[in-house]
Structures are given as structure tokens and as C-alpha cells.
């Protein structure tokens, strides 16, 4: 059979210098790179058998020593490819999903991580699952993005996209922060807490969920605001439409920061405002036919355990 997709980009989880970037003393990153390289090699041969042209993402290729393959950076992939296959965990998918979203390229995720809410193809089922998808048998799944900005003295000093969440956090050794929250210019609340999360439906199963927020189906056009350990227990999560502009002002608090998908970080000073609005871009995921969001929840959250 021939692939519906002519130019397919392969992107893999990699560790710089063969180390775990969160722990320089942990060399387990080497095994991650080795495993990723093997998977990418196998995928390359498989995709070639379907007549597809395979392109390796530049940083992935350098980490996995794929110098003999066609290599492109993310912008080049966006201009030339009609599909990207991402091997890694949800964090890898979040990073490249944001970067490729403006190009409208669909993404398929192969789960090399632990949870796999958005990288849903198991390692032992790659070829069997991909084969019908390459022939055009798949389910499309669109996920919204947020634009997060840090505004200081009426000037934007930081701006980025987020697929999961925007989080305002207190400092590691500091006390609570005080935040003023507005929605579409209307005062909503003052919050004294360890922080505040603004999550998309995709991010509602991440940090927001562990902080007591609700799960939002990705088909809904909404966001959830979830306080982190609020001083006042009546400060509860609230679901808003994603056509709103949310503005958070840091009234007080030392060493506070704004995190975007926990991958981009901006340090905050008193008086800074964090603006969050909906992006015009979406991330397009492709899932195997028969995929269901509810199946994913049940499996990942172990809702079926203990039931005969």
C-alpha cells in the first residue's frame, strides 16, 4: 500500500549531552536516546516501505546520530511536510505541537513516556496501528492553544504559546502570592494562594487536575482557573469560555514566576500582569480509528480497576 502522506517528519525525545536535563548527574538520558534511535530507525524503514519520504528533525537527528538521513529544522518541516510523528512523552509532544501548530501539520504521537494522554500509540503496536492511518483511516482531534504574555510597565516582555496551561507560582522558598484576577476587564477575585493555573481542556488532566480542578472534554470551548492551595477555601476552580481575556496581576509575592506548559519560564516582579487569550492556531492530532477520549481517561486514570 502507498502512504496518503508523502513527506513525513520524525521527531524524537532526546537528552542533551546524553544526560537527563533535569538531573545532570543522571545518565539515564543515554538509554532514552538509544531507545529513541532504534525506534526511529525502525520507523524510517517502515515508512519507506509505504513510499513516504522521511525527514528527521534537526535536534533529534543530532542526538541520535542520523546524519545520513534528510534533516530539517522545525520551520523547514512546517513548510515541507504533511505529517509529523512524535516519539516521546506528552512533554515532547507539547513542545513540538506548539512549534508546528502555526503550520497546520497533523501530529501522531508514539508514547515513550509514562501517562501518554496525547501520545497514545504504544511502542509494541507501532506498525499495526500506523499502517491503516497511513492509508487514511484515522480520527482527527483538534486542540486549542493559549497565548500567554507578561506585561511590565505597559510593555510586553515575554510572549509564548501554551497547549496545557499557564501557571503563576510563588517562589520556592517564599510565602503565598497575592493575585488580582480580571476576566474581559471585569474584576473577578483577589487570590492569596501558592499560585493559580489557567488550563485548556488538554491541560485539565495535568497540573490543574492534581490541584482539584475538573476534567474538561477537549471538544468544549473552555478554560479552567484553578487556585493552588488557596488561603481562602471559598476560592474554587471556575470554568470560563475561551473567548475571554484573563488578566492576572501580581500584587505581592517574592520570587514569583509564570510557567507556560512548564517548559517556558518568566520571572515576575510586583505589578507584572499576565495576559492569557486564545490563539488562532490549533494543534491537530491524528488517532487510530475507534479512538475515544473516554477510553483514554479510563485507561490512564485507572477508572476501570476493581470492577468485575
Residues serving a catalytic function are 90
Report how far apart, in Å, the C-alpha atoms of 44 and of each of 55, 62, 69, 134, 198 are. Answer: 9, 16, 9, 13, 38
> If DSSP codes are grouped into helix, strand and coil, which group holds residue 201?
coil
Contact in structure between 293 and 172 (CB atoms under 8 Å): no
d(CA 253, CA 250): 7
Give helix then strand counts, H and E, for the chain.
7, 17
- The region, left, alpha or beta by phi > 0 then psi within -120 to 50, assigned to residue 42 is alpha
| Grid cell locating 212 | 482539584
Q: Are strands 53-57 and 7-12 parallel, antiparallel or unpaired?
A: parallel
Amino acid at each position: 500500500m502507498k502512504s496518503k502522506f508523502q513527506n513525513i517528519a520524525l521527531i524524537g525525545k532526546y537528552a542533551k549531552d546524553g544526560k537527563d536535563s533535569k538531573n545532570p548527574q543522571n545518565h539515564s538520558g543515554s538509554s532514552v536516546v538509544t531507545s529513541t534511535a532504534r525506534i526511529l530507525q525502525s520507523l524510517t524503514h517502515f515508512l519507506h516501505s509505504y513510499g513516504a519520504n522521511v525527514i528527521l528533525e534537526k535536534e533529534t537527528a543530532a542526538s541520535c546520530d542520523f546524519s545520513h538521513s534528510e534533516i530539517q529544522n522545525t520551520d523547514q518541516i512546517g513548510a515541507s511536510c504533511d505529517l509529523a510523528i512524535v516519539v516521546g512523552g506528552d512533554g515532547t509532544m507539547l513542545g513540538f505541537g506548539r512549534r508546528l501548530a502555526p503550520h497546520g501539520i497533523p501530529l501522531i504521537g508514539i508514547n515513550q513516556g509514562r501517562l501518554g494522554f496525547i501520545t497514545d500509540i504504544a511502542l509494541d503496536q507501532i506498525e499495526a496501528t500506523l499502517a491503516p492511518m497511513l492509508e487514511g483511516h484515522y480520527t482527527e482531534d483538534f486542540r486549542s492553544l493559549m497565548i500567554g504574555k507578561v506585561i511590565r510597565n505597559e510593555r510586553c516582555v515575554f510572549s509564548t504559546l501554551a497547549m496545557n496551561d499557564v501557571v503563576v507560582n510563588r517562589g520556592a522558598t517564599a510565602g503565598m502570592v497575592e493575585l488580582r484576577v480580571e476576566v474581559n476587564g471585569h474584576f473577578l477575585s483577589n487570590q492569596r494562594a501558592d499560585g493559580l493555573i489557567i488550563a485548556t481542556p488538554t491541560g485539565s488532566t495535568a497540573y490543574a487536575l492534581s490541584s482539584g480542578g475538573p476534567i474538561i472534554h477537549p471538544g468544549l470551548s473552555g478554560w479552567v482557573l484553578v487556585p493552588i492551595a488557596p488561603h481562602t477555601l471559598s476560592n474554587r476552580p471556575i470554568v470560563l469560555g475561551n473567548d475571554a481575556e484573563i488578566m492576572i496581576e501580581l500584587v505581592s509575592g517574592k520570587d514569583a514566576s509564570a510557567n507556560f506548559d512548564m517548559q517556558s519560564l518568566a520571572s515576575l516582579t510586583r505589578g507584572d500582569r499576565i495576559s492569557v487569550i486564545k490563539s488562532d492556531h490549533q494543534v491537530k492530532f491524528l488517532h487510530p480509528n475507534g479512538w475515544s477520549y473516554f477510553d483514554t481517561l479510563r485507561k490512564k486514570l485507572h477508572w476501570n480497576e476493581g470492577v468485575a
